[in-house]
Amino acid sequence: MALTLMKGSEAIAEAAIRAGARFFFGYPITPQTEIPEYMSARMPEVGGCFLQAESEVAAINMVYGAAGTGARVITSSSSPGVSLKQEGISYIAGAQLPCVILNVMRGGPGLGSIQASQGDYFQGVKGGGNGDYHLLTYAPASIQEAINIMTFAFDKAEQYRMPVLFLADGIIAQMMEPVEMPEMVDYKVDPEKKPWAATGWKPGDDPAKRAVINSLFINTEDLTVHNDHLQAIYAEARKNEQMWEEYKLEDAEYIITAFGTVSRIARSAVDELREMGIKAGLFRPITVWPFPYEHLKAAADREGVKALLDVEANEGQMLEDVKLAVNGAKHVDFFGHCGSLMPTTEEIKAKILEMKEGK
Amino acid sequence: MKKYYVMIGNYGSGKTELAMNFAMKAAQHGRTELLDLDMVNTYFRLAEHGKLVNMKEIRLVSPNYACSGIETLSLPAEVASAFDMDWDTVVFDVGGDAVGSTALGRYHEDFMALAPGELEVLNVVNIRRPLAGTVEKIIHLQEEMELHSRLKITGMINNTNLAQMTGPAELRDGYEMIKQVSEITGVPVAYTSGRKELLDIFLAEGHDPKYIGTPIAIDTYMHRDWDSWVKGLSL
């Protein structure tokens, strides 16, 4: 198939449409405004609906409503906008509705900057909204990987009836790479497969078949049952959905952990360190929820591994999960910048050399 | 003769790169001004390459507060210097699509006052971009851009590429499609541009010079940080 030169935003939007997304609700914010812009032109072409909401809060509640009908729905925003969406995301998780949410991370806190960052790891993985819920969270490291994940993101969201979050940084949305697009999926809502979807009920119909979309369980026993059910789903997702990539780990003495764009910088650092005779390797979680704890633990436990270095474009957020995984068995160090400054291969190399010299 | 080059085209077709190349070449022969009129995307700014531009004694006009957190996307008053001062060459780098070319409308009277032959309005075409991948799409975009910019496109530039993965097939496929556009619209192919080694291969294939125009070997100035990370591309 022919390659196309695409910007991350356009590619992710097109991939979502080809995966069956027919509703987009959002509000512009740099560095992801090209996603709604692309959707605004493309959705009418495929008989879908693009709607620029009056705010991010409105947009996520439109997602809530449309997802309740069983349709494939997507929204996108960047950090401050995703903060605004948190209430709606918690409701959607509580009501067990599938949808896809894109967070193209920029510098924070507050309005921060418009440049790329990874500062919303905690927000995406450890909560964000209220209550005991999780989002199936992917951290793509290239445009092609974002496209590939989009081909199954809606399937996963529907399988577990939980929202899927793309935790991408501004670079993934802004960069251009040659990519291969999947074919258009002919997706139609099948009420038989989605008995929970509110697709129309009138008096006289079987009351048992009435779909109710709700996150309110006022009776404590009911809420406990509901939460136990959610936790059972999360346990299942933890068991089945972990994705990660290992690069040159077989004989590595130093394991670098990184996600998203930063993992590509780290990968270059691994190659350059190896040219210098230092055995470095990379462990890259692709799902950051569920985090591949056991697999990282197995990698860290290998004989010959001296230490781990976690690299992020934040203050060290995934670092907590890396430490949980390693569980004290090996030394875990950190390098990163807050705000919007990307760590460089030179900085990563210098840090590993420093660790090697025992500083 | 005094020359004005205006680069318009599909978003991401390579306008900034070509504007930079035109300005660098012109600077070898005379006084050159390069204007960044991109009011759409704040991510890619010629101002990031200010040092390089200054080295060649090109005067760069950028939007106010370019590359800062308070960039305001307003047209700087200095744009008037393009028409009022005595340059040998003036190059306009404009934002993508019809939206981007709207910024030119403001200078309609200035452009109209230029002598015949002084102005080249160039549609930069990369058929590997999704919204410029068919004859119909290219013609539609061309009409929209003319409407918004209040200018007539005088020529097309075949700048078909896949960034770091560009091969000889890109210029060839671009040639075939842009030829059809030219036959339908009557807009000539003014230039064909690409990295020298690929351009040489393309030119040796014996295509009709009418649809090649002037070949331009380009240098890559607009390096992005991520160009060095793409090694790990998971295609």
Distance (Å) from the alpha carbon of B77 to chain A's nearest alpha carbon: 26
Nearest CA in chain B to A245: B234
**Is residue A169 located within the same domain as residue A291?**
no
B196–A contact, CB cutoff 8 A: no
Nearest CA in chain A to B44: A174
**Is residue A167 located within the same domain as residue A35?**
yes
Q: Answer yes or no: is A222 within a domain.
A: no
**Is residue A14 located within the same domain as residue A154?**
yes
Q: Answer yes or no: is A223 within a domain.
A: no
Torsion on CA atoms A187, A287, A57, A158, rounded to nearest 10: 30
Token pair recorded at residue A149: 């994940």
Nearest CA in chain B to A341: B225
Q: Answer yes or no: is A236 within a domain.
A: no
Q: Answer yes or no: is A10 within a domain.
A: yes
pLDDT at B74: 78
pLDDT at A181: 95
What are the b/e assignments for B65-97, b being 16+ CB within 10 Å? ebeeeebeeebbebbeebeeeebebbbbbbbbb
- Which of A30, A177, A268 faces B228 most closely, judged by CB atoms? A268
Number of domains composing chain A:
2
- Which of A141, A142, A178 faces B162 most closely, judged by CB atoms? A178
In angstroms, rounded to a whole number, what is the distance separating the alpha carbons of residues B158 and B182?
A: 11
**Is residue A124 located within the same domain as residue A254?**
no
- Which of A5, A10, A271 faces B161 most closely, judged by CB atoms? A5
Residue pLDDT tens, chain B, 235 long: 899 999 999 988 999 999 999 999 999 999 999 999 887 766 667 766 666 666 667 888 887 766 666 666 778 899 999 999 999 999 999 988 898 999 999 999 999 999 999 999 999 999 999 888 899 999 999 999 999 999 999 999 999 999 888 998 999 999 999 999 999 999 999 999 999 999 999 999 999 999 999 999 999 887 666 665 544 444 3
What long-range pairs does A215-223 form, CB within 8 A, spacing at least 24? Answer: A215/A90, A215/A91, A215/A92, A215/A93, A215/A94, A215/A95
Most trustworthy range by pLDDT among A67-76, A338-347, B6-15: A67-76
pLDDT at B75: 84
pLDDT tens sequence across A93-151: 999 999 999 999 999 999 998 889 999 999 999 989 999 999 999 999 999 999 999 99
**Is residue A19 located within the same domain as residue A165?**
yes
**Is residue A255 located within the same domain as residue A158?**
no
Q: Are the beta carbons of B129 and A4 separated by less than 8 Å? A: yes
- Which of A14, A145, A178 faces B165 most closely, judged by CB atoms? A178
**Is residue A271 located within the same domain as residue A155?**
no
pLDDT at B226: 63
How are strands ordered across the β-sheet holding B214-217?
B58-61, B32-37, B89-94, B3-9, B119-125, B155-158, B189-194, B214-217
Q: Between B234 and A92, where is the model more confident? A: A92
Q: What is the CATH number of the domain that holds A77?
A: 3.40.50.970
Domain enclosing residue A352, as ranges:
245-356
- Cα atoms in the Cβ-side hemisphere of radius 13 Å centred on A258: 32
pLDDT at A165: 98
Nearest CA among A304, A258, A298 for reference residue A279: A304
Kindly list the residues from chain B whose CB atom is less than 8 angstroms away from the CB atom of residue A177: 163, 230, 233
pLDDT at A97: 98
Q: Which of A179, A212, A227 is the last residue of a domain?
A: A179
Residue A359 clears pLDDT 90, i.e. is over it? no
Residue A4: what are its φ and ψ, rounded to 5°?
A: -125, 145
* CA–CA–CA angle A330, A333, A336 (5° rounding): 150
**Is residue A48 located within the same domain as residue A162?**
yes
3-state SS string over chain A?
CCCEEEEHHHHHHHHHHHCCCCEEEECCCCCCCHHHHHHHHHHHHCCCEEEECCCHHHHHHHHHHHHCCCCCEEEEECHHHHHHHHHHHHHHHHCCCCCEEEEEEECCCCCCCCCECCCCHHHHHCCCCCCCCCCEEECCCCHHHHHHHHHHHHHHHHHHCCCEEEEEEHHHHHCEEEECCCCCCCCCCCCCCCCCCCCCCCCCCCHHHCCCCCCCCCCHHHHHHHHHHHHHHHHHHHHHCCCEEEECCCCCCEEEECCHHHHHHHHHHHHHHHHCCCCEEEEEECEEECCCHHHHHHHHHCCCCCEEEEEECCCCCHHHHHHHHHCCCCEEEEEECCCCCCCCHHHHHHHHHHHHCCC
pLDDT at B68: 63
**Is residue A168 located within the same domain as residue A50?**
yes
Question: Tokens 């959905």 appear where?
Answer: A241
Kindly list the residues from chain B whose CB atom is less than 8 angstroms away from the CB atom of residue A141: 232, 234
**In sequence order, what DSSP letters do the residues of B153-171 get, joined into one string?**
--EEEE----GGG--HHHH
Tell me B130's DSSP state: G
For this complex, say whether ipTM is above 0.85: no
Give the mean pLDDT of chain A. Answer: 96
Q: Which of A179, A197, A219 is the last residue of a domain?
A: A179
- At A63, the pLDDT band (50, 70, 90 cuts) reads very high
Q: Answer yes or no: is A57 within a domain.
A: yes
Residue A304 clears pLDDT 70, i.e. is over it? yes
Residue A216 clears pLDDT 80, i.e. is over it? yes
pLDDT at A340: 84
pLDDT at B76: 86
Q: Answer yes or no: is A296 within a domain.
A: yes
Q: Which three-class secondary structure state does DSSP give residue B40?
A: coil
Kindly list the residues from chain B whose CB atom is less than 8 angstroms away from the CB atom of residue A17: none
Distance (Å) from the alpha carbon of A33 to chain B's nearest alpha carbon: 10
> Considering only A89-93, A339-343, B195-199, which range has the smallest mean pLDDT?
A339-343
Q: What is the CATH number of the domain that holds A337?
A: 3.40.50.920
Find the radius of gyration of the CA atoms of chain B.
17
Residue A314 clears pLDDT 60, i.e. is over it? yes
- At A339, the pLDDT band (50, 70, 90 cuts) reads confident
A56–B contact, CB cutoff 8 A: no
**Is residue A115 located within the same domain as residue A13?**
yes
pLDDT at B233: 46
Residue A180 clears pLDDT 80, i.e. is over it? yes
**Is residue A167 located within the same domain as residue A291?**
no
> Considering only A77-86, A186-195, B177-186, which range has the smallest mean pLDDT?
A186-195
pLDDT at B234: 42
**Cβ proximity of B205 and B198 under 8 Å:** no
The pTM of this model reads 0.89
Q: Answer yes or no: is A184 within a domain.
A: no
Selected residue of A5, A147, A270 to mutate for chain B interface (largest B Cβ count, 10 A): A5
- At A187, the pLDDT band (50, 70, 90 cuts) reads very high
**Is residue A300 located within the same domain as residue A157?**
no
In angstroms, rounded to a whole number, what is the distance separating the alpha carbons of residues A259 and A310?
A: 9
**Cβ proximity of A264 and B232 under 8 Å:** yes
Q: Are the beta carbons of A4 and B229 separated by less than 8 Å? A: no
In angstroms, rounded to a whole number, what is the distance separating the alpha carbons of residues A301 and A326?
A: 8
Residue A55 clears pLDDT 80, i.e. is over it? yes
**Cβ proximity of A22 and A74 under 8 Å:** no
Q: Answer yes or no: is A193 within a domain.
A: no
Q: Which of A149, A164, A179 is the last residue of a domain?
A: A179
